[in-house]
Structure 1
Amino acid sequence: MPRGDKSKYTEKQKRKAEQIEQSYEQRGVPEDEAQARAWATVNKQSGGGEKAGGSGRTTSPGEKKSARSDSAKRAAKTREGHPRTSTTSLQSQTKESLLKEARSKDIKGRSSMNKAQLVEALRKFG
């Protein structure tokens, strides 16, 4: 499929891209930029052309939903606090990240602590 060929897209996807493109143009975005943004949005939301062929991947909408859910769960897991082995690594973090880690470990009184107190509490906790 040559670049720019939209034959693999469903009619619904084409209508959606057209509506998004018009919306961008009404906001003053140049036509070519509006079209690029519109198709990027359609691709992001639906995973590209839905008709058979193309990339060779056969992913059903259910599998896509499951993959997105799994990806979101993995991303959330990486945002959780990580155990630290040294006080030095705690001291190099920002106060905001220390607060987030203290929140995930449910350390009481964390909101009124300064950075040094947060480091000490996290060191003791875990």
Structure 2
Amino acid sequence: MARDNHWDQDDQKQYQHVHDSEVDRGQEERTAERIAAATVNKQRTREGRTLRQEQERHAQGKDSKKD
């Protein structure tokens, strides 16, 4: 199972649920893994919880303190 190091417990739970659902629907294991990971990453992006978004927020916070 491919999992992002930044995933929290809820993300891992969602991954497992989507993965299992896809396997039950007849998808191959590798395809189910890809779909599950993409689903979790898409949700994290929508919520602003990706590493890149966190770094951008952190950088903006530092810049605003310099003013």
Q: TM-score, normalised by structure 2?
A: 0.64
Separation in structure 2 between the aligned mates of residue 31 and residue 16 of structure 1, nearest angstrom: 16
Root-mean-square deviation (Å): 2.7
CA deviations on 1:86-124 (whole Å, 9 max, x unpaired) are xxxxxxxxxxxxxxxxxxxxxxxxxxxxxxxxxxxxxxx
* Equivalent pairs, count: 54
Query: How far did residue 50 of structure 1 move?
Result: 3.5
> Can you give the 5+ residue segments of structure 2 that lack an aligned partner in the other structure?
59-67
Separation in structure 2 between the aligned mates of residue 20 and residue 42 of structure 1, nearest angstrom: 9
Q: TM-score, normalised by structure 1?
A: 0.37
> Can you give the 5+ residue segments of structure 1 that lack an aligned partner in the other structure?
60-126
Distance change >3 Å, CA 37–CA 5, structure 1 → 2: closer
Structure 1 or 2: more helix by fraction: 2
Segments of 4+ moved more than 4 angstroms: none
What's the counterpart of residue 25 of structure 2? 27
% identical aligned pairs: 24
Separation in structure 1 between the aligned mates of residue 21 and residue 32 of structure 2, nearest angstrom: 8
Separation in structure 2 between the aligned mates of residue 42 and residue 8 of structure 1, nearest angstrom: 11
Query: How far did residue 43 of structure 1 move?
Result: 1.4
Q: For residue 5 of structure 2, what is the amino acid of its counterpart?
A: S
